[in-house]
Amino acid sequence: MTVRILLCDDHAVVRAGLLALLGSEPGIEVVGEAGSGEEAAAMAAKLTPDVVLMDLQLGPGIDGVEATRRITALPGAAVRVLVLTTYDTDADVTRAIEAGATGYLLKAERPEELFAAIHSAAQGRTALSAPVASRVMDHLRGTARPALTARELDILGQLARGLGNREIARALFISEATVKTHLGRIYAKLGVDTRAGAVAVAKERRLLP
């Protein structure tokens, strides 16, 4: 059975590369290309491909998660969405799966793994990159790091502004000792041991505005 694919990525060069790669694989046919989430949703409704290969970070307009939600909600169309992205944060994986994605792959995957994932997705089977599968299993086992509290997010926001402990304490009307206690918990939850590391991970996970 030939799997009909719709590509969605806002980078034309990436789409061209995927088109050339997938065109070399028997049993896979690219039936369309979309450069935005809105375009992908409209083309999926019109073309009803078997699988939409979806990037998460798209340009202006809706992102890949919202596009996935719209595509999987199409009436009478069993279109599967296979995320193909460079991002593997807990927040991205969770949002994509909750939106209805059948699989989640990283762009670092080898071509044969991508081909196999496409065929699996077309049959409704879950396809996950190894790092993503590990994260999902951590959540199922309850070993994922706990979420930050509202106060911890407040302090993280002050950190991102470059404030020191004393300045944070003044801004939030708490003691420096309390700030240090919260920082220790923030570091543990984010798996870091420096202020810069905390801010970097927070930005990566989109915990900061």
pLDDT tens digits, 189-208: 888 889 998 998 888 777 88
Where helices occur in 84-129 by DSSP H, the ranges are 90-98, 111-122
Q: Is the pLDDT of residue 144 over 60?
A: no
Tell me, what's the pLDDT at 125? Answer: 92
Tell me, what's the pLDDT at 136? Answer: 66
Tell me, what's the pLDDT at 116? Answer: 94
Q: Check: pTM over 0.75? Answer yes or no.
A: no
The domains located in the chain, with CATH, are 3-141 (3.40.50.2300), 150-204 (1.10.10.10)
pLDDT average, residue stretch 110-136: 87
Tell me, what's the pLDDT at 137? Answer: 63
CA distances from 72 to 7, 37, 42, 52, 102 (A): 15, 13, 12, 10, 10
Tell me, what's the pLDDT at 138? Answer: 61
pLDDT tens digits, 9-54: 999 999 999 999 999 999 999 999 999 999 999 999 999 999 999 9
Tell me, what's the pLDDT at 31? Answer: 97
pLDDT tens digits, 150-188: 899 999 999 999 999 999 999 999 999 999 999 999 998
Q: Is the pLDDT of residue 6 over 90?
A: yes
Q: Is the pLDDT of residue 105 over 80?
A: yes
Where helices occur in 83-207 by DSSP H, the ranges are 90-98, 111-122, 130-141, 150-160, 165-172, 176-190, 195-204
Tell me, what's the pLDDT at 135? Answer: 64
Cα–Cα distance for residue pair 29/50, rounded to 1 Å: 10
Between residues 154 and 77, the one the model is more confident about:
154
